[in-house]
Structure formats: structure tokens, C-alpha cells
């Protein structure tokens, strides 16, 4: 039995989200309706459902997941290609813009007349000859400031609380050689700020929006240090909630729904 044969069974077709589109040719020719399918469960879960629908006498000899995966038709898309579970809140956007602003101002500081004779490369410039963690670790601060973990695993709580001796923001935020005496380095950067919006006939509203400001590199480092503890815990809770949501989606039965609520002030 091939994978495509599963689509005609009553029990299995419910695991697909069907989306019909009507493509047009270069000259507007009508090619009819095109049917696309998105697999709403994981491959492992789809294999389990398929084995369950087979006659009892054939379930023991059913092909494994690897063979089942090879039967996937080209017009069926995996669930992960449709779902994007992530945090898109103002806290993450504010942090990302602040980190980008720091990167923009610090590039000019990482220049040296000396040519490197090692295999390392500074992430802020090819002419930098420093080998500190702030220069070499090419990861976002939310990942660089905690101990490395396996793919899909969350950091331990001591790293999130910045109580671990092996990691921390101060080890990766500022280069001790290039940026400790950069008090005069400044420039215009884009940052998320709370601005008051006035609308005639309505009360003024506070809105978070990107604005252009002239900031010093020291001021940006200070702002990052003050906000990073909250941001690290917020990101940890958001990823933990997303991980649980993914697990609930994987284990979801046909007659079940997922409801996610959080009363945490960090989210």
C-alpha cells in the first residue's frame, strides 16, 4: 500500500489541511484547480495512524517509519512548513533592535593594522586581532550568554538566572580590549521606544515604535545590561511554552483541541 492511498480513507483524510488554488499560465490560461495538502501531524504520528487502520492481521508486518517516509508524495507538505510557533512580542523586537544598534556602532572599534596569524575571525570585522568571547562567539546574546545545550533543549535555570560560573552576559557583551575605552563612540541608531500618539477627539496613547536616536556605545551597553535579565527569562518562558505547545500538537487526537493560557507577568 502506498502513502497516497491513505488519502482516500475516511479516517486518514482528516489529518490533512486541504488548500485549493487556481494557478494561471503566462498568458492567463486556465489550468483548473490544483490541490495541495499539508500534513497536520508528524510523520511518526501519521505512521501510527496508518498502522492502526490496517487489518489486525497485517499490523505486525507493516513497514516501518523509514519506509513510510519514502512514500510521501511530492504534493504533500510537512506540518512544520506551515506552522511557525515563535514569540513576536514587543520585548523580542526591542531586544533585537538594541543588539543591532550595538553591532552597528562597535564595528568601527574592531579594526587593527595588525594581520591575524590564526584561524579565528572576529564577527565585527576582518581586521580585528582580538580573540575574546565577545569577538569570536557569533551568536545572539540570548544564546551566547548561557551554556551551550543540545538542539531542542532549554538552558538550565541557573544559566537563565545568570548564576552560573561558566556563562553570563558580561563575558560576551563587551570586548575588554576594543570597547572598554570607547566613551566617545556614538552614532544614530534605530531603537524601539514608547512614544505618545495624539489623535484628535481621543485620549493620547502610548505606542511602541522604532525611532531614530543618537546614542553612545556606552549608553547602549548600559541599557542592554539593565534589560537583559528580564529578556532572558522572558525568552526562556516563551520557548518553554512553545515546546509544550509543539508536544501537544504532536499528541493531539482527532477530537481534541489545544488551549494555551499564561498568567505570567514575564510573558
The predicted model gives 15-40 an average pLDDT of 53
The predicted model gives 69-89 an average pLDDT of 65
Render pLDDT for 212-237 as a digit per residue (tens, 0 to 9). 999 998 899 999 999 999 999 999 99
Select from 107, 96, 177 the least CA-distant residue to 141: 96
Q: Is the pLDDT of residue 54 over 50?
A: yes
Please provide the DSSP assignment of 34-95 as one string: EEEEEE-S-HHHHHHHHHHHS-HHHHTT---HHHHHHT--TTEEPGGGT-------HHHHHH
Question: Rounded to an integer, what distance in angstroms lies between the CA atom of residue 57 and that of residue 171?
Answer: 62
∠ Cα 34 38 42 (to 5°):
155
The predicted model gives 76-91 an average pLDDT of 64
Beginning with the edge strand found earlier in the chain, give each strand of the sheet holding 16-21 in spatial order.
16-21, 34-39, 76-77
Tally Cβ neighbours within 10 Å of residue 111.
Answer: 14
Residue 185: pLDDT band (50, 70, 90) is: confident
| pTM of the predicted model as reported, rounded to 2 decimal places | 0.61
The predicted model gives 159-172 an average pLDDT of 91
∠ Cα 133 136 141 (to 5°):
65
Higher per-residue pLDDT: 17 or 174: 174
Provide the pLDDT for residue 241: 83
Q: What is the distance, to the nearest Å, from the Cα of residue 168 to the centroid of all Cα atoms in its chain? A: 21
Provide the pLDDT for residue 103: 86
SS3 224: helix
Tally Cβ neighbours within 10 Å of residue 67.
Answer: 11
The predicted model gives 177-184 an average pLDDT of 75
Q: Is the pLDDT of residue 20 over 90?
A: no
The predicted model gives 63-68 an average pLDDT of 86
Residue 162: pLDDT band (50, 70, 90) is: very high
Mean pLDDT, all residues of the chain: 76
User: To the nearest whole percent, how much of the chain has pLDDT over 70?
Assistant: 67
Provide the pLDDT for residue 123: 76
The predicted model gives 156-172 an average pLDDT of 91
Select from 216, 133, 138, 146 the least CA-distant residue to 176: 133
Render pLDDT for 114-160 as a digit per residue (tens, 0 to 9). 666 666 777 776 677 777 888 888 888 999 999 988 877 889 999 99
Provide the pLDDT for residue 26: 46
Amino acid at each position: 500500500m502506498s502513502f497516497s492511498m491513505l488519502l482516500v480513507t475516511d479516517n486518514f483524510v482528516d489529518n490533512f489541511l486541504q488548500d485549493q488554488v487556481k494557478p494561471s499560465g503566462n498568458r492567463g490560461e486556465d489550468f483548473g484547480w490544483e490541490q495541495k495538502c499539508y500534513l497536520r501531524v508528524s510523520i511518526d504520528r501519521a505512521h501510527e495512524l496508518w498502522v492502526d487502520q490496517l487489518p489486525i492481521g497485517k499490523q505486525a508486518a507493516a513497514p516501518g517509519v523509514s519506509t513510510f517516509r519514502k512514500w510521501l508524495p511530492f504534493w504533500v507538505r510537512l506540518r512544520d512548513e506551515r506552522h511557525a510557533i515563535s514569540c513576536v512580542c514587543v520585548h523580542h523586537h526591542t531586544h533585537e533592535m538594541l543588539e543591532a544598534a550595538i553591532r552597528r556602532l562597535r564595528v568601527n572599534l574592531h579594526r587593527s593594522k595588525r594581520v591575524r596569524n590564526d584561524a579565528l575571525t572576529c564577527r565585527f570585522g576582518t581586521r580585528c586581532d582580538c580573540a575574546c568571547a565577545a569577538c569570536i562567539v557569533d551568536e545572539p546574546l540570548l544564546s551566547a550568554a548561557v551554556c551551550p545545550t543540545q538542539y531542542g533543549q532549554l538552558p538550565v535555570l541557573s544559566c537563565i538566572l545568570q548564576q552560573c560560573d561558566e556563562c553570563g552576559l558580561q563575558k560576551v557583551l563587551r570586548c575588554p580590549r576594543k570597547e572598554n575605552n570607547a566613551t566617545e563612540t556614538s552614532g544614530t541608531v534605530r531603537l524601539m521606544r514608547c512614544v505618545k500618539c495624539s489623535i484628535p477627539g481621543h485620549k493620547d496613547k502610548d505606542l511602541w515604535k522604532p525611532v531614530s536616536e543618537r546614542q553612545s556605545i556606552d549608553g547602549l551597553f548600559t541599557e542592554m545590561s539593565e534589560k537583559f535579565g528580564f529578556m532572558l527569562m522572558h525568552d526562556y518562558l516563551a520557548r518553554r511554552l512553545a515546546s509544550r505547545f509543539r508536544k501537544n500538537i504532536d499528541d493531539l487526537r482527532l477530537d481534541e483541541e489545544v488551549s494555551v493560557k499564561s498568567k505570567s507577568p514575564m510573558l
